[in-house]
Copies of this chain bind each other. A is one copy, B any other.
Amino acid sequence: MRPTGRLHIGHYFGALQNWVRLQNEVLPAGRVVAQHAAPVQSQEPAYECFYFIADWHALTSDYADTSAVAENTLQIMIDYLAAGLDPAKSVIFQQSAVPEHAELHLLLSMVTPLGWLERVPTYKEALENVKDKDLHNYGFLGYPVLQTADIVIYSKEGAPLYVPVGEDQVSHVELSREIVRRFNSFYELRLRDEAFDQSQSVHLHRLLMLAGERLEDYLFEYPLSTETKIAILSALRRSTAAEGLENFLERISKFKESVALLSVDRVLAEPEVMLTKTPKIPGLDGRKMSKSYGNAITLSETDEEIRKKTKVMVTDPARKRRTDPGNPDVCPVYDWHKLFSAGEPGRLEWVRQGCTTAGIGCIECKDAMATNLIKWIAPVRERRVKWEKNPKGVLEILDEGSRRARVVAQGTMERVREAVFGWGKKRKEIGGSAAKA
């Protein structure tokens, strides 16, 4: 979430509810899952969840006035806690407190074609529709690159990486997959150290020939010089990039000794969409719920405000008079009933029956819905009020989450840096004590 304002019930049902569910999901006890050696213990969490507040992303549109970003970050953290995110189960953190995201963003930017970014539909839409801010900036164009870094920096070797999103975000995750795939394609191929042993020279020669190289272009004096080693790896990378690594590996598969000189290490995980069910929750006026439309109920809304706002809520526009029958399937109030009144036996039937026969009026109907919304919001709001009184405690939780996130992000960046620059290998080559502490 970007810290551009407080969260409302639209955010809750659109995302937070699912986040809380995922955090609380446990593996079936006794099952053996791929990434675990031993059978699952009881109450073992199904996912390791990372949720963050995207304060750098807030700058892509709100760079010109950041006065409220810190306060909004604090408030969103309070919203998270009020909604039920639990720092004991999830890593909840602040994006800018994990500067490794910026480093990965920079590296990914080098391999991301401009055309991919320029063609993102939401980018073009925003440029056309947003009139009060100038979005023609380099950073705004790079939004999906930063988003990709945000996701894949939490890659874990050998484990899938899911992004819980709704339908409207699927194409963004797809773009992240494309960027990661391209990044991996340049950096995943390595040569094992043995490849440069004289005993393997026949197999190395064959590898080069299979990649279309002329052996005369190389100086095969053993031990091979640094220049020759670099030239060999470089040639293999160029050649496999042109053909496609998969294709190359398939084509040469019968030369097992030559294939064995190669290693292919996936650097970053390709993120996968985890499509989450999000119920329909229109705003008070029937449009998309949004703070800027003034049609939202925040997570800290008072009972009085809820009563007042829902009283004037939009209903089926065809039901003009009390005596007209209505259609709940086009009525925003009924959408809300489905969320808040489902637990009350008979209430949904009462609404449908009463509405379609003009047996009840909209005022009665809204009133019943508001009563249930108020019941639903009470514990959320209570937690919110509690944390509002303790901003120091909120910050401590956020800081601790950022610290934990950073440990993971740093681990990923070590692998990424090695894949891109290979200093670990180079330092080892040069000799023990040049290795960094």
Residues of chain A having any CB pair with chain B under 8 Å:
55-56, 59-60, 63-71, 74, 96, 99-100, 102-103, 105-107, 109-115, 117, 134, 136-142, 145-146, 186-187, 226-227, 230, 233-234, 237-238, 241, 391-392, 395-396, 399, 417, 420-423, 425-427, 430-431, 433-434, 436
Instruction: Say yes or no: A113-B137 contact (C-beta < 8 A), given A106-B106, A399-B436, A426-B71.
Output: yes
Q: Which of B114, B233, B431 contacts A67 (CB 8 A)?
A: B233
Contact check, B136 vs A114: say whether CB atoms are below 8 A apart.
yes
Please give, as numbers and ranges, the residues of chain B lying within 8 Å of A187 by CB-CB distance.
66
**Copies of this chain per assembly:** 2
Please give, as numbers and ranges, the residues of chain B lying within 8 Å of A421 by CB-CB distance.
55, 66, 69-70, 96
15 interchain pairs (CB within 8 A)?
Answer: A65-B237, A65-B238, A66-B420, A67-B237, A68-B234, A69-B420, A70-B425, A99-B102, A102-B106, A112-B137, A113-B136, A113-B137, A142-B142, A392-B430, A395-B430
Distance in angstroms from A419 CB to nearest chain B CB is: 9
Distance in angstroms from A368 CB to nearest chain B CB is: 34
Please give, as numbers and ranges, the residues of chain B lying within 8 Å of A65 by CB-CB distance.
186, 234, 237-238, 241
Complex-state Cα separation, A395 to B237, whole angstroms: 27
Smallest Cβ-Cβ distance to A111: which chain B residue: B63
Please give, as numbers and ranges, the residues of chain B lying within 8 Å of A227 by CB-CB distance.
71
Q: Is the interface of A mostly helix, strand, loop or mixed?
A: helix
Please give, as numbers and ranges, the residues of chain B lying within 8 Å of A70 by CB-CB distance.
421-423, 425-426
Instruction: Knowing that A96-B421, A391-B434 touch, tell me 19 more A-B residue pairs with CB under 8 angstroms.
Output: A64-B186, A65-B241, A66-B422, A67-B234, A67-B422, A68-B234, A69-B422, A70-B423, A74-B426, A109-B137, A111-B139, A112-B138, A112-B139, A113-B134, A114-B141, A138-B142, A391-B430, A392-B434, A395-B434
Instruction: Say yes or no: A110-B391 contact (C-beta < 8 A), given A71-B426, A103-B102, A426-B71.
Output: no
Please give, as numbers and ranges, the residues of chain B lying within 8 Å of A146 by CB-CB distance.
106
Please give, as numbers and ranges, the residues of chain B lying within 8 Å of A109 by CB-CB distance.
137-139, 142
Complex-state Cα separation, A112 to B70, whole angstroms: 22
Smallest Cβ-Cβ distance to A72: which chain B residue: B230
State the 7 A-B residue pairs at the shortest beta-carbon distance, nearest first: A110-B139, A109-B139, A63-B110, A67-B234, A102-B106, A59-B110, A102-B103
Complex-state Cα separation, A278 to B157, whole angstroms: 51
Complex-state Cα separation, A392 to B427, whole angstroms: 8
Smallest Cβ-Cβ distance to A242: which chain B residue: B64
Contact check, A64 vs B241: say whether CB atoms are below 8 A apart.
yes
Complex-state Cα separation, A195 to B122, whole angstroms: 41
Complex-state Cα separation, A145 to B103, whole angstroms: 14
Please give, as numbers and ranges, the residues of chain B lying within 8 Å of A56 by CB-CB distance.
106-107
Please give, as numbers and ranges, the residues of chain B lying within 8 Å of A417 by CB-CB distance.
96
Distance in angstroms from A173 CB to nearest chain B CB is: 18
Smallest Cβ-Cβ distance to A73: which chain B residue: B421
Q: Which of B64, B67, B137 contacts A230 (CB 8 A)?
A: B67
Distance in angstroms from A420 CB to nearest chain B CB is: 6
Distance in angstroms from A123 CB to nearest chain B CB is: 11
Please give, as numbers and ranges, the residues of chain B lying within 8 Å of A241 by CB-CB distance.
64-65
Please give, as numbers and ranges, the residues of chain B lying within 8 Å of A233 by CB-CB distance.
67
Please give, as numbers and ranges, the residues of chain B lying within 8 Å of A430 by CB-CB distance.
74, 391-392, 395
Smallest Cβ-Cβ distance to A391: which chain B residue: B430
Please give, as numbers and ranges, the residues of chain B lying within 8 Å of A392 by CB-CB distance.
430-431, 433-434
Complex-state Cα separation, A235 to B102, whole angstroms: 30
Please give, as numbers and ranges, the residues of chain B lying within 8 Å of A137 by CB-CB distance.
109-114
